[in-house]
Amino acid sequence: MPIQKKKSLGQHFLHFAHYLQMVVAAAEIQKGERVLEVGPGEGALTAELLARGARVIAVEKDRRLIPLLQEKFAGRNFEVYEADALEFNISNYTDGPYKAVGNIPYYITGALLKKFFSEENRPSLLVFLIQKEVAERIARAKKESILSLSIKAYGEPRYVKTVPAGAFVPPPKVDSAILAVHNISRKNFKDLEQERKFFDLLHKGFGSKRKLLASNLKPLLGERSAELLERAGIQKNARAEDVPLEKWLMLARL
């Protein structure tokens, strides 16, 4: 009997082979590579990862699916753990390099991306199926946002492909997209203090969209606000959404 999908877990399983293969291709899997799969569901994407030679560690919150996955992939390079992906510590299972792949619930997208980028053992590459609108904001929008800048600070996002709602069972209300983030690292930050300052600047800078960036940052930067913005190469009449990543990083280093 088919397992009833749980709305509370945001379950929309992808079974369309063309899109599954595009996810795996975007992850650039090499034989023997370790892959952390978030939310394997019934194992459609897992099967494609294993077919490419990946060694898969899967984390699945729905305990009903654990025995199904264990039986389906018995004897393969596959481990599955019942856990919440937001609480799962990959370092307990491998301290080596890995990639993160998954068809994730929309409602944990931001929190999950933040978790992976802040991990001590971060993935080298991440490929997630997420809401199309969110993927566009991250990788295609002409205007920046807290989300897009937060991702770009750690890696290079790429919008891979739109995946229509009809490719999922049950279909979600909106289309999805494959988002890849390459070259993930903390190279833009020399230490935790600079990293915290960068995010403080972002949150203050985007605090009020109707105000200029200089006004939003004045409570944080004080009387030196105009001087520091000028040194970072930011126009005095700029708004937060118009400032590229490199200038935010420069401001955080001053």
Would you state the structure tokens that stand for residue 6, as one six-digit string? 């749980």
| Residue 103 assigned ligand-binding role | yes
Q: Is 53 left (phi over 0), alpha (psi -120 to 50) or beta?
A: left
| Residue 53 assigned ligand-binding role | no
Quick one: pLDDT at residue 1? 45
159 CB-contact burial (10 Å; exposed 0-12 / middle 13-18 / buried 19+): middle
Torsion of CA 207, 210, 211, 213, to 10 degrees: 60
What single-letter amino acid sits at 83? A
Residue 237 backbone dihedrals phi, psi, to 5 degrees: -100, 15
| Residue 227 assigned ligand-binding role | no
| Residue 92 assigned ligand-binding role | no
Length of the chain: 254
Quick one: pLDDT at residue 15? 83
Unique residue bearing structure tokens 């983030």? 181
Quick one: pLDDT at residue 5? 52
Q: Report the predicted TM-score, pTM, of the whole model to 2 decimal places.
A: 0.91
Quick one: pLDDT at residue 109? 93
pLDDT averaged per 10 residues, the chain (length 254): 53 84 96 95 94 96 91 95 93 91 91 92 96 96 95 97 92 94 96 96 93 93 90 94 97 95
| Residue 12 assigned ligand-binding role | yes
Q: DSSP string covering 28-59, please?
A: T--TT-EEEEE--TTSHHHHHHHHTT-EEEEE
Partners of 159 in beta bridges:
179
The CA-atom distances, in angstroms, between 155 and each of 60, 104, 166, 213 are 26, 19, 30, 24
- Domains, the chain, ranges and CATH? 7-182 (3.40.50.150), 192-253 (1.10.8.100)
